[in-house]
Chains A and B, each alone.
Chain A
């Protein structure tokens, strides 16, 4: 089974620039998650999709972050404008529908803000 695909693996931008990350979940997984992992911390959920609808975006900084999953498969996460504190690894995960289903993670995108 192919895993969760993410791109790019690394991105370096200057503050106030914009950036976008892409995620392709495991085939058939209806639920997709974006996490932010700051150095020295555990991953923190930013947004969760069920098919193409948002289930939870309570911790997404909506003034600068946006995410979409238009066709219920691939997803993009955008930051505009970026701040220094956005430097982190952005992880995408997917899971089948159902209570307690384990999440499968991609390799992540490491974002550095200069």
Chain B
């Protein structure tokens, strides 16, 4: 069955700390991988995506993610977080003709000033 696992449900960091959020997926065939972010009171927004090519993908606001095919992983990283990064982060996968997104359960990140 197709699924996405996010290992951390809640993460609390201080400003300037480094961030890594884990994401593993189970999906047969070619996949497209996404990280979406939801800031407090706002809608889900695309942070970055991977379709093919360079497995290290750079997104908005200094975020990046690395696709490791052998580990079925797509972890999100940021070298130095800011208070404004406080949000909920969702990993998602799609594939096939319908572009249907399968989401993980999300990780709530709280950055303390």
Contact = CB atoms under 8 A, between A and B. Distances in A.
Interface of A: 3-4, 31, 33, 40-45, 48, 55-56, 91, 93, 95, 99-108
Contacts, number: 55
A40 B105 contact: yes
B101 interface: yes
A100 B32 contact: yes
Interface-centre pick from B34, B44, B51, B97 (highest chain A CB count, 10 A)? B44
B44 A55 contact: no
A101 B99 contact: yes
12 contacts: A4-B43, A41-B106, A42-B103, A42-B105, A43-B44, A43-B103, A48-B99, A56-B100, A91-B43, A102-B46, A105-B43, A108-B43
Contact of B99 (A3, A41, A99): A99
Nearest to B90: A42
B4 interface: yes
B99 A100 contact: yes
A107 B100 CA distance: 19
Interface in B43-57: 43-46, 49, 51
A103 B43 contact: no
B70 interface: no
Nearest to A105: B44
A107 B49 CA distance: 21
A40 to B, nearest CB: 7
A113 B99 CA distance: 31
Interface-centre pick from B43, B45, B100, B104 (highest chain A CB count, 10 A)? B43
